[in-house]
A and B are shown apart, each in its own frame.
Chain A
Amino acid sequence: MSTPDDKQPVKKISIIVSKGSLDGIYPALIMANGARMEGIEASLFFTFFGLNALANKTLDHLKVSTVGNAALNMAMPMLGLPITMPFPTVMGAIPGVSAFATHLMNKEMEKLDIPPVREFLELISDSGGKIFACKLAMDMFKLKKEDLMDRVDDVLTVGQFYEESAGAGTHILFT
Chain B
Amino acid sequence: MKKTIAGTEVDVNEEGYLTDASQWNEAIAAAIATEEGIGALTDAHMKVVRYLREQQAKGAALTIRSMGKSGVVTTKELYDLFPGGPLKKSSKIAGIPKPVGCI
Contact = CB atoms under 8 A, between A and B. Distances in A.
Interface string B37-74: 00000000000000000000000010111101000001
A126 B74 CA distance: 9
B75 A127 contact: yes
Q: Indicate the size class of the contact surface on chain B.
A: 20 to 34
Given A113-B65, A113-B101, A126-B79, A39 B74 contact: no
A114 B102 CA distance: 9
A37 B61 contact: no
Interface string A29-50: 0100110111100000000000
A147 to B, nearest CB: 25
B15 interface: yes
Interface stretch (B3-11, B18-26, B27-35, B85-93): B85-93
Contacts of B15: 1-2
A175 B26 CA distance: 45
Nearest to B101: A113
B103 interface: yes
21 contacts: A2-B15, A33-B64, A34-B103, A37-B85, A37-B87, A38-B85, A112-B103, A113-B65, A113-B103, A115-B65, A115-B103, A119-B65, A123-B64, A123-B65, A123-B75, A126-B74, A126-B75, A126-B76, A127-B64, A127-B75, A127-B79
Interface of A: 1-2, 30, 33-34, 36-39, 112-115, 119, 123, 126-128
The 9 closest A-B pairs by CB, nearest first: A39-B84, A126-B75, A39-B85, A113-B63, A126-B76, A113-B103, A113-B65, A127-B79, A34-B102
Given A2-B14, A37-B87, 18 more contacts: A30-B103, A34-B102, A36-B79, A37-B64, A37-B85, A37-B86, A37-B88, A39-B83, A39-B84, A113-B61, A113-B63, A113-B65, A113-B101, A114-B103, A123-B64, A127-B64, A127-B76, A127-B86
